[in-house]
Each structure stands twice: as structure tokens, then as C-alpha cells.
Amino acid sequence: MLIREDVAYYPLSDTTLPVHHSYESIFINVPQPKGQDMIIGAIYRPSGKPLRSFNEEFAELIPALIKDKRKLLLMGDFNIDLIKLHNEPTQDFLNIMTSSFFRSYTSH
């Protein structure tokens, strides 16, 4: 994660987030002059890790990040083929995202 030096932030401590084994992540808190702080995070799920395990851990992570109605910008490489909607773990991932009111943006 690259952050301009004039942006005030602090890393979220590992003690405030659930333990995870199916992905790598980094999260920072960016205080806002008005309103709730913004959490910015990057997640990488290696393609060899089981998607079901990732979904379970991801479903625990999201509520911890959006508590107190904080704004959340989440990005990363989830290594999930979203075209395979018939695949139950893929559908579970999409359900987690949509039930938390996330939108998906893809860069090409």
C-alpha cells in the first residue's frame, strides 16, 4: 500500500481484527475532519487457498471493519472467477459482498 506522506493515517492493529489464515491483508485508518474515519484495506487471497475458508474468514472480517458505521474502501486480488455464478463458494462470496452493500469495480 502506497500512501502520500501528507496523509495522516495509522495501521489497524491485528488485535482489532479477526485472525485469518486464508488471505493476506493490510488495513489503515484515515481520520476524517468530519464524520467517521475511513478504513482502507487491501486483501490478497492466494489461488491455492480454499474459497470456502476464505468466505468464512471474510464474513467475520467485514463486520469488524464496518463497526461504528465507518467508511470502508476495500481492494485486492481475491482470485475468484465471478463468472462462475453456479459455483456455491463464488455465490457465497458475492452474497457476503452484496449483503454488506459493497459495489464491485474492476480495472482492466
Residue-by-residue pLDDT tens, the chain, 108 positions: 899 999 999 998 777 788 899 999 999 999 999 888 899 999 999 988 999 999 999 999 998 888 777 788 999 999 999 888 888 999 999 888 888 777 665 555
User: Has residue 16 been placed in a domain?
Assistant: yes
Note whether residue 2 is domain-resident.
Answer: no
Residue 77 falls inside a structural domain: yes
Q: What is the pLDDT of residue 79?
A: 94
The span from the CA of 79 to the CA of 15, in Å, is 26
Residue 5 in domain: no
- 80 in a structural domain: yes
Would you state the pLDDT for residue 107?
56
Range of the domain at 64: 10-99
Using alpha carbons, list the distances in angstroms from residue 1 to 4, 23, 56, 87: 10, 16, 25, 31
Q: What is the pLDDT of residue 104?
A: 60
Examine residue 64 and state whether it is found in any structural domain, yes or no: yes
**Count of domains forming the chain:** 1
Residue 44 has phi, psi (to 5 degrees) of -130, 120
Judge whether 93 lies within some domain: yes
The answer to whether position 36 is within a domain reads yes
Q: Write down the pLDDT at residue 103.
A: 65
Per-residue pLDDT at 46 = 95
CA distance 35 to 11: 19
